[in-house]
Structure 1
Amino acid sequence: MKAIEIRTYGGPDGLAVVGLPAPVPAAGDVVIAAEAVGVGGVDTVIRSGALAAYGFKEGHIPGNEVAGTVTAVGEGVDTSWIGRRVWGFTGTGGGYVEQAVVPVREILPLPDGLSAADAVTLGTSGVVAYFALAHARFAPGETVLVRGAAGGIGVMTVQLAAKGGAAAVAVTTSSAERGARLRKLGATHVLDRAGDGGQDAPAGYDVIIDIVAGEDLPSFFDRLNPNGRMVAVGVVAGQPPADFGTRMLAAFRKSLSFATFSADTVASADLHAVRGEQFAAAVRGELDTVVHEVLPLDHAVRAHRKMDDGEVFGRIVLTP
């Protein structure tokens, strides 16, 4: 089968198309003939080599979510799964393939009316946004800032905060065109990447969901209200400065909080419960799945180049 691996760390050209043997499912696993593969920001971070210390080596196959049809099951798995359309979580990698191996506990049936492309656009991003807001103890009536709102997680966070009763949902993004699109999804104020601008924008925020990190992260502590909470869910701009916490401690009397959030800390059953609700909401038209572009699997280099250049609004989907 065809797969995409990280041949060398660095830029998008380090990705390569390779041929691998067709997979055979182990006990407890299924094989999914992929119709759609999600391309996430974490894929580009892994490809860059920034997470090599966490065990990601050259030769790694990126991608953590696929959607398609179950074609085979391993020992102990109900054979009735064969032929069903499902969404599947491949874990820390293994998604950029024509046939993905997924533990049966990590698959979820797709409802009628939800395309494979929509499923991988919503499947991971939606639950990260949902549980990140919960981790921040977001409550109706509070003000929210989504830093880096044009990506998959950001798009979903904007929608969920607005639908959750936020008094204001401000976003940072790179252009007026993106800002206009985010307003249609529920944003009330559009700021530049530094968090400035925006007519009548709140002076401070109760919750900041940060997908960007990078060297500018500490400056956003200044934008938190007393008892404000910042939750980092991504590092697409790289790690923050080693001393980033000193900015928060300088505002000690404001009782600020900083946390990270990874969906790895949420039980699969809880993730699936929320994911299933979100899939159903998308079918009803209550959540927008924003697909930036659909490209063939062997155009992964092009997809990553677009991600690195900041061209993507929503999610790029690869089709084997």
Structure 2
Amino acid sequence: MKAVTIQAFGDPEGLAVIDLPVPAPADGEVLIAVEAIGVGGVDAVVRSGALAAYGFREGHVPGSEVAGTVTAVGGGVDTSWLGRRVWAFTGVGGGYVEHAIAPVEEILDLPANLPAADAVTLGSSGVVAHFGLSHARFTPGESVLVRGAAGSIGIMTVQLAARAGAGAVAVTTSSAERGDRLRRLGATHVLDRSGEGDEDAPAGYDVIIDVVAGADMPSFFARLNPNGRMVAVGAVGGPPPADFGMTMMAAFQKSMSFATFSAATVSPADRRAVRTEQFTAAGRGELETVVHELLPLEQAVPAHRKMDAGEVFGRIVLTP
């Protein structure tokens, strides 16, 4: 089968298409003939080599979510899964392939009215957005700022906050055109990447959901209201400065808080329940999935170039 691997950390040109044997599912696993592969921000971070200290090595196959048809099952897996179209989380890797392995507890039936490309655009991002807001203890009426709103996680956070009755939903993004698209999805205020550009925007926010992190993250602490909460759900801009906590200490009397959030801390059952609800809502048109572009698996390099250049609104989807 065709697979994309990271032959050399760094630029997208370090990705290469190679041939690998079709794997066999082990106990508790399924094999999926892949129809669609979500290209996520974490894939680009892994490819860059920034996470090498966490055990990622050259030769790694990136990609964490796919959709397709179950073609084989391992020991202990109900054979009724055979032939069913599913969404699947493969782990932090293993997705850029024609035939993917996934644990059976990380697969979910696809509604008939939800295309595979939409499923891999929503599957992980919707769960992160939902539980990220929950982790921030968001309640209706509160103001929310989504930093880095043009990616799939940000787009879903905007929609979920608006649907839940946020008093204001501000976004940071890179262009007026993206801002207009985010307004149609529920944003009430559009800011530039520095957090400026809308005189009518709230002076402070009760909740900030940050997909970016990076060097500028500490400057956004000043935008939190007293008792405000910032939750980092991604780090597509790299890690924050080592002393970023000093900015919060300088505003000690505002009782602000900062947290990180990973969906890995949510039980599979809870993730499944939320994902099922969101897939149903998307199939009915109540949630909008934004597929930036469909590209063949062999074009993983240009897909990553587009991500690195900041050209993607929503998610690129690869198709074997």
* TM-score bracket relative to the smaller structure: over 0.9
2:61 is aligned to: 61
Q: Indicate conservation of the 8 Å contact 1:232/1:259, yes or no.
A: yes
Instruction: Return the letter of the residue paired with 2:199.
Output: Q
8 Å CA contact 1:158, 1:187 repeated in 2 = yes
8 Å Cα contact 1:69-1:86 kept in structure 2: yes
The aligned counterpart of 2:284 is 284
2:245 is aligned to 245
1:54 is matched by which residue type in structure 2?
A: Y
- Find the counterpart in structure 2 of residue 111 from structure 1: 111
Q: How far does residue 199 in structure 1 lie from its aligned partner after superposition?
A: 3.4
Give the structure 1 partner of residue 25 of structure 2: 25
Cα distance between partner residues in 2 of 1:317 and 1:302: 12
Residue 135 of structure 1 is matched in structure 2 by 135
Counterpart position of 1:166:
166
Given that 1:68 and 1:116 are in contact with CA atoms closer than 8 Å, whether structure 2 keeps it comes out as yes
SS in 1 for 2:102: strand
Match of 2:189 in 1: 189
How far apart are residue 112 of structure 1 and its match? 1.2
Provide the secondary structure at the position in 2 that maps to 1:144.
strand
* 3-state SS in 2 of match to 1:123: helix
**Shift in Å at residue 9 of structure 1?**
0.2
Gaps of 5+ in 1: none
Give the letter aligned to residue 143 of structure 1. S
Match of 2:273 in 1: 273
Distance between the aligned counterparts of 1:74 and 1:198, measured in 2? 55
Task: Report the TM-score, using the length of structure 1 for normalisation.
Answer: 1.00
> How many Å separate the matches in 1 of 2:272 and 2:18?
32
Is 1:189–1:199's contact at 8 Å kept on the other side of the alignment?
no
1:10 match: secondary structure: coil
In 1, Cα distance between the equivalents of 2:281 and 2:123?
Answer: 12
What whole-Å deviation, never above 9, does each CA across 1:7-34 have from its counterpart, x for those lacking one? 0000100000010001111111100000
Match of 1:145 in 2: 145
> Shift in Å at residue 197 of structure 1?
1.4
Q: What are the Cα deviations for residues 40-77 of structure 1, in whole angstroms up to 9, with x where unaligned?
A: 00000000000000111111100000000000001111
The one-letter amino acid paired with 1:281 is: A
**d(CA) in 2 for partners of 1:28, 1:220:** 44
Who is 2:307 aligned against?
A: 307
Q: For 2:190 and 2:199, how far apart are their aligned partners in 1?
A: 8
- What CA deviation, in whole Å up to 9, does each residue of 1:127-146 have, x standing for no partner? 00000000000000000000
Give the whole-Å Cα distance in 1 for the aligned partners of 2:269 and 2:97: 25
1:223 equivalent to 2:245? Answer: no
**1:89 — aligned with what?**
89
Structure-1 residue corresponding to 2:38: 38
The residue type paired with residue 286 of structure 2 is E
For the Cα contact (< 8 Å) 1:64–1:94, is it kept in 2? yes
Look up the equivalent residue of 1:190 and give its one-letter code.
V
**Counterpart residue number, 1:208:** 208
Q: Is contact 1:45-1:236 (8 Å) kept?
A: yes
Code of the aligned partner of 1:317 = V
Tell me how far apart the structure 2 counterparts of residues 9 and 259 of structure 1 sit (CA, whole Å).
29
TM (norm. structure 2) is 1.00
Q: Secondary structure at the match of 1:292?
A: strand
Q: Secondary structure at the residue paired with 1:43?
A: helix
2: CA distance, partners of 1:72 / 1:203 = 55
Distance 1:130 1:161 in 2: 9
In structure 2, list runs of 5 or more residues that go unmatched: none
Residue type of the partner of 1:68?
G
Residue identity opposite 2:276 in structure 1: G
Q: Could you tell me how far apart the structure 2 residues matched to 1:32 and 1:191 are? A: 41
Identity rate, percent: 76
What stretches of structure 1 move > 3 A for 4+ residues in a row? Answer: none
Aligned partners of 1:103, 1:233: CA distance in 2, in Å?
Answer: 24
Q: Deviation of residue 92 (structure 1)?
A: 1.2
Q: CA RMSD in A?
A: 0.5
The size of the alignment, in residue pairs, is 320
Q: What code does the residue aligned with 1:81 have?
A: W
The one-letter code matched in structure 2 to 1:108 is L
State the partner residue of 1:124.
124
